[in-house]
């Protein structure tokens, strides 16, 4: 592999709720603790990144990496509607300043799945009022911290609600597919959607936790209506507008969960339909963006009857999807056909108990990125998911995506070979 330029951003990513711990004012915290919860375990202290961020960023720096993508937690900044917490802003100021002191380029995500509990009570991600609420939050953060933030992802995986809705439809038998409807891992972020038996009691408990009709509990990861899809895009447009008003120099983008859709004979229409739903229909809302965040973990193969389930010979990751690092290069080529501005790979990675598999995955994935650069595709960065083994939403702590292992009984960090391997790619190529 050739050497990446000094300007190319290579690093790793995290999300606040998954690593910081004690995000007590968030919707996820509430859902983790209700009777009959669908979560394997609660997040609790997570990996205590809130207090140990310097140690974690230092490990990234010592490996030779120059970029850290992380999220600012809305539920910390605005724990009650209209009540902005100055102490929490100061915390994230310190994180950003530490990045700059160590020549690490921060890429900040303003919303990564988790929301303030009060927002859900107010109608959540199906309510028009969320557009203004999100705009107010973004304006406050950027007014306070914008001078320290070169890149902002407004919303992480804006298409995730639609992907979840499709999975639920597929499981219910209302969509033609050759995949096994009992599969519980079909979403890149690791949401366990095999929840039919417990769902009724769980949603009743969730409704009680938020104090509203359970049918009106609209978290960011709830299956979304078309109106909800539009609200997400309005939130993005509102955020971009206020960010540019406060600090026009900030580069603003959004991220999408994108599979490498491949078609067998007769599957072309199915693949094209999902490509349109995953990305192309969002493009009209992104024309004023500065970059696009691409997040990819695997591929989907489409046949005449829909998505084809991997057979027993297929190499799978710990998450249960196909081990196929070449998907990233294919997705970048697809995106570049429709997007002529910079692209940042904001997530790409693998959950595995065998770090040599992670090393192989990184090498093959970044070979694809290098090939795309050689082809003239405007990729400016890559952040591996994830810096740390962390809380993988409903699946708890069993999944291991991290470049750094954590003993959660002591919070001791154990850097893996894959961390230094990725750093060596940044330093000298391989």
Contacts of 271 (CB under 8 A, 6+ apart): 261, 262, 263, 300, 302
| Cβ count near 420 (within 10 Å) | 18
302 touches 263 (CB < 8 A): yes
Structure-block tokens of residue 66:
């120059």
d(CA 361, CA 378): 22
Active site residues: 157
Structure-block tokens of residue 53:
């961020």
Annotate 185-238 with DSSP letters as a single string: B-STT--B---HHHHHHHHHHHHHHHTS-GGG---TTS---HHHHHHHHHHHHH
- Burial of residue 423 (number of CB atoms within 10 Å: 0-12, 13-18, 19+): buried
HEC per residue, 123-186: CHHHCCHHHHHHHHHHHHHHHHHHHHCCEEECCCCCCHHHHHHHHHHHHCCCCCCCCCCCCCEC
Contacts of 127 (CB under 8 A, 6+ apart): 218, 231
- φ and ψ at residue 52, rounded to 5 degrees: -115, 20
Q: Is the dihedral of CA 251, 420, 361, 46 positive or negative?
A: negative
d(CA 153, CA 262): 28
d(CA 108, CA 149): 7
Structure-block tokens of residue 240:
């971009």
343 touches 392 (CB < 8 A): no
Q: What are the E-state strand segments in 331-378? A: 343-347
């Amino acid at each position: 592999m050739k050497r990446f330029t000094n300007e190319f951003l290579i690093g790793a990513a995290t999300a606040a709720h998954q690593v910081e711990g004690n995000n007590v004012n968030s919707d996820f915290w509430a859902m983790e603790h209700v009777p009959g919860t669908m979560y394997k375990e609660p997040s609790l202290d997570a990996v205590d990144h809130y207090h140990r961020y310097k140690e974690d960023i230092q490990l990234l720096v010592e490996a030779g990496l120059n970029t850290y993508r992380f999220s600012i937690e809305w539920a910390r900044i605005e724990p009650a509607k209209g009540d902005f917490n100055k102490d929490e802003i100061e915390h994230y100021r310190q994180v950003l300043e530490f990045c700059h002191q160590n020549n690490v380029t921060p890429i900040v995500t303003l919303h990564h799945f988790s929301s303030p509990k009060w927002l859900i009570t107010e109608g959540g991600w199906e309510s028009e009022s969320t557009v203004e609420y999100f705009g107010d939050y973004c304006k406050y953060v950027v007014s306070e911290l914008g001078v320290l933030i070169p890149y902002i992802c407004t919303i992480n995986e804006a298409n995730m609600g639609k992907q979840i809705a499709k999975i639920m439809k597929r499981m219910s038998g209302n969509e033609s597919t050759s995949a096994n409807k009992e599969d519980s891992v079909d979403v890149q972020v690791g949401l366990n959607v095999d929840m039919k038996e417990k769902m009724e009691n769980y949603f009743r408990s969730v409704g009680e936790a938020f104090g509203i009709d359970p049918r009106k509990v609209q978290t960011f990861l709830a299956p979304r209506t078309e109106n909800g899809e539009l609200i997400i895009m309005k939130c993005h447009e509102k955020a971009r507008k206020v960010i540019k008003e406060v600090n026009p120099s900030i580069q603003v983008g959004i991220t999408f969960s994108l599979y490498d859709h491949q078609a067998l004979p007769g599957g072309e229409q199915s693949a094209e339909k999902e490509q349109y739903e995953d990305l192309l229909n969002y493009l009209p809302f992104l024309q004023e963006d500065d970059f696009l965040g691409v997040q990819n973990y695997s591929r989907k193969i489409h046949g005449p009857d829909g998505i084809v389930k991997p057979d027993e010979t297929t190499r799978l990751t710990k998450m249960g999807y196909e081990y196929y690092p070449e998907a990233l290069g294919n997705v970048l080529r697809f995106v570049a056909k429709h997007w002529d501005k910079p692209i940042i790979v904001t997530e790409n990675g693998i959950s595995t108990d065998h770090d040599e598999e992670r090393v192989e995955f990184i090498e093959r994935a970044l070979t694809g990125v290098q090939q795309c650069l050689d082809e003239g595709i405007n990729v400016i960065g890559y952040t591996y998911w994830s810096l740390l083994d962390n809380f993988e939403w409903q699946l708890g702590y069993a999944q291991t995506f991290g470049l750094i292992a954590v003993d959660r009984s002591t919070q001791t960090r154990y850097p893996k070979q894959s961390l230094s391997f990725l750093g060596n790619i940044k330093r000298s190529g391989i």
